[in-house]
Structures are given as structure tokens and as C-alpha cells.
Chain A
Amino acid sequence: MEIFDHLALGFQVALSLNNLLYCFIGVALGTFIGVLPGVGPLVTIAVLLPLTFGLPPEGALIMLAGIYYGASYGGSTTAILVNMPGESSSAVTCIDGYQMARQGRAGPALAIAAIGSLVAGCIGTVLIALCGPPLTAVALSFGASEYFSLMLMALVTAAALVHGSLLKGIGMALLGVLFGLAGTDINSGTQRFTFGLPGLVEGVDFVIVAMGLFAFAEIVSNLGSSQDRSILSGKITGLMPTRKDLLASWKPILRGTALGSVLGVLPGVGQTVSSFAAYAIEKRLSKDPSRFGKGAIEGVAAPESANNAAAQTHFIPTLTLGIPGSASMALMLGALMIQGITPGPQVINTHPGLFWGLIASMWIGNLLLVILNLPLVGIWVKMLRVPYRWLYPLVLVFSCIGVYTVHNYAMDVGFAAFFGLLGFLFRKLDCEPAPFILGFILGPMLEENFRRAMLQSRGDPTVFVTQPLSVAFLAVALLWIVLMVVPALRQKKDQAHAE
């Protein structure tokens, strides 16, 4: 069986002593930084990114996968313990997780989140092994027009599902595409939007934008808002979930996993939708929906599993098509590019060890997470009490060094400061940065495929609506716009975000 060969290769790579160590370091550091108050998963990944620069590609990606897991889990931890979601995908975990914590059941909530993630991770890994190669084959048959429409669909989807108005979301996605175009045009050699600055000739590196938009802007708004963090004072008793908890959770975990796996494959849909949908389904299926919002363990188990399953299957569009679904996945993609690997359908064939090693190490990272976290919950709780005035200089210093080390170019840090300013402005104006970052990553590819499609069709723009797959993608994009314009559905989305 080919699948087993692939997975065997993956585990062979991931289980080598060095890579196992990188994975462990990644998970440990990711969780450690991720649970610090006011440091979200994105910032965690961004801050730890430079640690991977010196490693070989496999090691770097495996460590990043570990960091990613640790950071997401750190986000869930702060969601449960202090009602502060690190990323929008763990926002829904806050609802019941925080209530459980207030009832002194933080331990079981954290344990179920970790166990749910592990189950989802196992199933997700198998799914990737099954679906990765056939989907890659489909992706390889895509022409320029299909790629263009697919990316447009991903952008519109991301813009439509984000918090706030559709118009703003699409505006942010297009702005991201615009900023992504800065630098030398590969077709004509024209320098665009470089304003005579030598540092812009190659375009702005993704890490610089992400660091400014997320890390720096987050520090400023954290310092600006007077934080009243309702840190849990009660002692956490009983770490392990009881038999009753496990009996109540296993079905939600499986349902959440199934939902997350399916939604995760769709480019642009992302983990947030998966976790919200999983929560809504559990609430509907429950015999007693009134328990939700008051500390129902299903309300933690389902969204956390869905979130993780989506993260896992998300690697399919991220690695095979180069289309990330969430901002942190976009950061992973950026890290891949820094390692000199262009994402696309060829990765699976040209770097099989890397592809399958990464998939296997995601599973191992997940397992390490459970082993590492269950005994350490008490320490994480203590870390939540570290005052922010000690933390923000640390994040600042690490981010600055991280930006500098991408190219050893001091001006890059200045650009990051500019994006920090821009990110702060976006935050103040309620403009979500997630579609922006997706647009920034996809921008150059979007233009390239647009131009190539127009060249191949000899200047006929109907090429985008005559190719069947291309039409299908555009139709989905249009459907999202229509759906968001229908007032009843929009209200439903607002409701979901408000919860």
C-alpha cells in the first residue's frame, strides 16, 4: 500500500533523534510562549520563527509544526483559564472552557482539549495520507485560469467569513494583494512601489509584514488598553477528566474531527468556521442545550477537535496549492518559503521526505503536547501571572532580532515598524488583518496567473468563465458574497462572532 509507504517514510524522518528533539523543543517553547498573557499564537510563531533559520529544512519545518501546536494549545489554555482567546479559532472554546475553569474544572477542560486535539490529529494524518496524493494530481492539472479563480475564491471566502462587514473584508484582502505586489515585476523587470528604496526591490518579506501587523500592533494595543485580566484565583483540583467526562466527550470529539477535516480542506474556510460550526452542532444535538455556556464539556471537546482537524487537513491546500487558510498557516507557508521551498503540487514529489516527515511530525507533536501538558498545567497557570511590563520588551527584542535575521538587513526592521503602525491603524478602525495577510501571500501568484491566463487565451477575458473548474470556483466566490448580503445569514454570522 502506497499510503503506508508514505507514512513510513514520514515517521522515519520524524522519528530520527534530531528531528524528535526539534519537535520537542518546538512544542515546549511554543506552549511556554503561547500561554504568556497577551501573546497570541501568531505572535508566538513569529517570535520563535528565527530559531529555525539555522536548521535544515526538515528540522526547521518539524520544529515549526511543534511550535504551531504548542502555540495553538497555549491559545486554548489562555482561552480556558483567563477567557482570552489567542486566535479567533479558539474564541468559541472560551464560552464553556472558561465556565468550566470557574467551576474549578480547568484541569479536565485542558485535558479534554488536548485529547480531542490528539484524536483529531491522528485522523487528520491518515486523511492527508489518503487524500494528499490524489488532490495533488488534480492540482497539477490546474491551468492558470483555474489557479486564479481558486485564489480569488479563497480570498473572498476569507473576507466573507471574517468578523465585520463584507466590504471591509474584501477591501482588506485587496489591500493585502496590493502590498504583495511591491518589488520587481518578474515579467517586465519594472520596479513597482519601491519608492527608490533598495530594501523594497525584492519586495517586502512576509515575516516582516506579519511581525509588524501582528506582534508590534498587538503590543501597542495591549499597552493601550488597561487590562483587567480575571486570572483564576481558585486552585485547580483534579487534573484528569473523569469517566463521565470521557463518555460525554468522545462523540463530540469524533463529530468535531469529521467536520473540521472536511472544512479544513476548503481553501479560505479556516479553523474559525470549523470550531464555531462544531460548537453549534453540539448545541443542537444536545438533549439539554441550556447547559451550553455554563461549562458543558462537549462545548470544549468539539470545537477543539474541529479546530485541530482543520489545522491538520489545512496542510493539504497549504502545501499542495500554496493557499493557506488561516493567518498562522500563512506564517507556516512563509517559513517554508524562507527555507527555499516553493509551495505547490510539486512539493509532495520533489521533497517527499519533507512532506511526509512534516505530516508525521504533526502527529508526534500532538502526542508530545499531551504528554508535556497534562503534568504541567500548574506551571502554565503560574505563568499567566507574569506582568505584561516584563513581557513586552521580550517580545519586542525577539521580534526585532527575528526580522533582522531574515536577510541581515537593518532596514527591514524599519519596514516592520511601518507595518506595526499600519496594523495599529487597522485595529483601531476595526479592519481585520487576516484577509490582508492572505492577500499579501497570494498577491504575486494571483497576478502571475491572471497574466498567464490572459496570455494563453490570447487576450480573451472569458477564459475565466469558460473553463468548468474555473467557473465553479468563481461561482463559490459569488455565492459567498450573495450569502453575506442576505441579511438573515449575516446576522447569524454576527451572532456567532458575538458569542
Chain B
Amino acid sequence: MKIAVTKDFLSGILFMFIGLGTMIVASNYKIGNAMRIGPGTFPIMLGVAVALIGLAITVRAIRNPEASEKIASWELQPLLFIVLSIIAFSLTIGTLGLIPAVVAVVVVSHFASREAGFLELICMAVVLCAISAGIFIYGLNLPIPLGFW
């Protein structure tokens, strides 16, 4: 039997995966008793429920695959570069300061669409640096360093 990898099928798998993962991690926490419920009980209950729901969704998706559609495309390029740009921000903001972080976001996220030209990219970086420094550092006095210099 060939299984159709539909959206519902994948969601079922995802729910089962998270549910089982939760049960495994939460089994390290104390269960307690019915009166004094420990920190492990509620997560395990949830984990079981999520895993069962995942199982039900998966079984249903296998039985009637036409109820859900397949994923047309994954759009990996925008996903990769948007996530990378956010990570770049998180790595630079604390150590290098606001201006380098903003430039990093603008430059890395540019590769997510590649629509803007070089000049546009520079303009955007300059404008966004000015706006964010103006609002957050000079306007709202938030304790963010402007740069590492």
C-alpha cells in the first residue's frame, strides 16, 4: 500500500512526534499522587492526548487521502534566509550593537527574495538604521548599544 504524504498525514506525524517526545522528557519529572499532583502529571497527560490525536489524524489521512492535499512547494529559500537573518540579529545585537544587527538583517534577508537591486539594498539599510536608532535609542531611550565603536 502506498501512503499519500498529505498535509493531514504530516500533521498527524508531527503531533505524534511531539506527543511522544513530551512523554519521554516528562517521564523524568515527579508524578506525585492524585491529591498532590507532581510536575510530571500534566505534561504526560497532554503528551498522551497530543500523541493520540496525532495517531487519529494519521490513520484518517491514510484511510482517505483525498480529504487533504499535498504540499505544493516548501519555499525553502525564503525560509532559510529569513531564519538566518533573525539568527544573525540575535548573534550581533548583544555584542556588536544595533547598527550592525540591522545591517545584518537587511543584507541576509535580501537573499530571501533577491528582488531589490544593490543600490536599493544600501538605501534600505541606511533608512532602517536611521529609523530604528531614532525610535528605539533616541526616542524611547531603550538600553541598546548603537554600535561596537
Contacts and interface: CB of A to CB of B under 8 A. Distances in A.
Interface string A384-423: 0001111011101110110011001011111011001100
Interface string A212-223: 000010011101
B144 A393 contact: no
B145 to A, nearest CB: 11
Nearest to A390: B124
Contacts of A190: 29-30, 39
Interface in B65-121: 68, 71, 73-75, 78-79, 82-83, 85-87, 89-91, 93-95, 98, 101-102, 105-106, 109-110, 112-113, 115-116, 120
Q: In terms of DSSP, what is the predominant structure of the interface of chain B?
A: helix
A276 B90 CA distance: 41
Given A389-B115, A417-B87, A174 B109 contact: no
A28 B86 CA distance: 28
Nearest to A439: B46
Range, interface on chain A = 35 or more
Contact of A416 (B78, B79, B86): B86
A53 B142 contact: yes
Contact of A174 (B29, B53, B60): B53
Nearest to B116: A389
A16 interface: no
Contact of B86 (A167, A181, A420, A429): A420
B140 interface: yes
Nearest to B136: A401
Contact of B39 (A187, A221, A388, A404): A187
B106 to A, nearest CB: 5
A174 B140 contact: no
A28 to B, nearest CB: 14
A469 interface: no
A450 interface: yes
B90 A410 contact: yes
B35 A458 contact: yes
A95 to B, nearest CB: 24
A193 interface: yes
A393 B128 contact: yes
B105 to A, nearest CB: 5
A398 B132 CA distance: 7
A226 to B, nearest CB: 10
Nearest to A415: B90
Contacts of B142: 50, 53-54, 405
A451 B25 contact: no
A178 B74 contact: no
B91 A410 contact: yes
A224 B109 contact: no
A425 B25 contact: no
Contact of A181 (B8, B43, B83, B106): B43
A307 B49 CA distance: 33
B90 A168 contact: no
A375 interface: no
Contacts of A430: 7-8, 11, 68
A177 B42 CA distance: 10
B18 interface: yes
A171 B46 contact: no
A428 B22 contact: no
Nearest to B125: A393
Contact of B124 (A178, A393, A429): A393
10 contacts: A178-B50, A188-B39, A221-B75, A393-B109, A400-B86, A401-B98, A405-B144, A414-B86, A425-B14, A454-B37
- Top 8 nearest A-B pairs (CB, nearest first) are A224-B75, A459-B34, A413-B90, A459-B35, A223-B78, A410-B94, A417-B86, A185-B39
Given A416-B86, A458-B35, 10 more contacts: A50-B140, A216-B86, A219-B82, A400-B90, A401-B136, A410-B91, A413-B89, A429-B8, A430-B8, A460-B34
